[in-house]
Amino acid sequence: MEWIGILALSFVTALSGALMPGPMLTVTLTEGTRAGHRAGLLIILGHALLEFGLVVLLLLGAKEFLQDARVSAGIGVIGGFVLGWMALGMLRSLPKLTLETGPTGAPAGGRLVWKGALVSAANPYWSLWWATIGLSMLLVATELGWMGAVVFFIGHISADLLWYVLVAEAVWKGRRLMSDRIYRGMIGACAIFLLVLGAGFIRYGVIRWSGGSGDGLAVEATTTQRAAERGSAGMTVGM
């Protein structure tokens, strides 16, 4: 029963974060129109690989490093510029976008995996969530040994996988109800959202660096997919 409890708690907590809008959801919506459920699978694969590495680092004692104000500030500023760069690329591609091919046809699998990892790493609330709430839950799970941590991670990733694959497939199926104009409008809106989110991350980083908490900027802390995206329940509102 303890295993089931850990699995269920991990799944529900992760799902509550994944359901909130953030950069991961935005990228999934964008790529889902071109690759369907495959986009969701590969984006989450990239996210899962990065998250697995972070979990290992936390178990090895990286909590203090990730909670350092300068580290989270740096992640915020760099991540904000990365999201801005992605958004500008989406805006530049708008004139060429069609529902037949997207910007350049079906996206390469490696690029989708890379995007999943990139949008996770770009979100400062993702690493902060894992250094606080995520680590607390992880430590409880490890009371059952290393298998407890494995079960926790499986439950966590399963929630992401379920939600983002469903979203990507739903967008793919809905293509037939869209015109190219509506499609471009959706991608443009996603790009603007990423720009605003990136600006919020940069502002958060500047405030953290100057000594503030930046808590009021947890615009989509759940966006961390956990913070949800990846901070859901704990970081204030937001992957």
Both tokens of 63, joined, read 């909590």
Which pLDDT value is given to residue 106?
Answer: 54
User: Lowest mean pLDDT: which of 98-107, 138-147, 222-231?
Assistant: 222-231
Note whether 223 and 121 are within 8 A (CB).
no
DSSP conformation letters of 2-54:
HHHHHHHHHHHHHHHHHTS-SHHHHHHHHHHHHHTHHHHHHHHHHHHHHHHHH
Which residue has better confidence, 205 or 63?
A: 205
Work out the average pLDDT over 164-184. Answer: 84
Work out the average pLDDT over 71-92. Answer: 86
Rounded Cα distance, 85 and 194, in Å: 9
Mean pLDDT, rounded, of the chain? 80
Note whether 134 and 238 are within 8 A (CB).
no
Which pLDDT value is given to residue 162?
Answer: 94
pLDDT classification of 42: cutoffs 50, 70, 90: very high
Note whether 123 and 66 are within 8 A (CB).
no
Which pLDDT value is given to residue 39?
Answer: 92
Q: Is the pLDDT of residue 122 over 70?
A: yes
User: Lowest mean pLDDT: which of 171-175, 192-196, 221-225?
Assistant: 221-225
